[in-house]
Structure 1
């Protein structure tokens, strides 16, 4: 395993136990890298320590990169001309997004719907066993998790972190004869997308 892969496995860990296992793997691979990361608060870089209020699956600053590449053409302009160029570009982009979502007919936003379809496929090998009406133990022979449909949580913490049902949660939802899309956080719905792009510049 490469050092970079080991680092990302630590960062992507969603539970404390998984984080500790991944950190041990990193320590076995490169003690200096482990010492460096052990000095940094994991709440700043590992999902295992993130708050469940974040509603974000992002681990990097990729949001700023597309903006920086978009304004490349404007950087050489005088400040007022540059700001006007950015304003017009953003105005146009927001309008296009608004028009696009007006044509979209499904309830869950397109990218999130695509993610859900992939997760539905990944949930197939899992078997959900009811503990009570809304709690399930989900197992595939290699991993086991507890899903609470009332609280919309899973012991893997992925559902808790991004508020999108994980593959274990989807297995429990399907077993409970419910619609997966009904368990998606409101921030991922078409209505929220429309509100985001309704303002004009």
Structure 2
């Protein structure tokens, strides 16, 4: 059985982690009490906001997927809605009828790949953005990747950092968490996209591919 590498710090059985990037929080002094809704598309958004502001827990949160919602609940937040699609652009469409007549705040990374805010603003939704974290490539990676391995890419940042450190071998197999992330892969890399935007689904696909 070929090895499976996950470019993340999340631990899974029979999967080897390469922490290809680190998360750095960006602290800000913002009055959250003027907002009726908080929009989260990542657990890192929840963790980073929670690191410097407790008021968010009293404001209804709109989570892109079940996993993000679980983190919101775990940190003491108030989940109002959980998206069904798992994709940023589709999530925006789900939010349009829910955020009408509300003042919303999108908790985001420094770099984002979806058009969530643009889609909502085009639908006349009153939404602001707050950058609370950024990804930084981990230049201390020394690990060698075996030939014929499956590599799971979970974000554009994981792709960017991987290709800064490693050279792609033709024997590698790329598994990607979603269509948007896949767009960031170099043209010469063949890949497969998981059916759902979850690491678990990526691992299932990688395991099928690794025999």
Q: What is the TM-score with the length of structure 2 in the denominator?
A: 0.30
The higher relative CO (CA closer than 8 Å, separation ≥ 6) is in: 2
Relative to total residues, which structure has the larger helix share, 1 or 2?
1
Greater strand share, 1 or 2? 2
Larger radius of gyration: 1
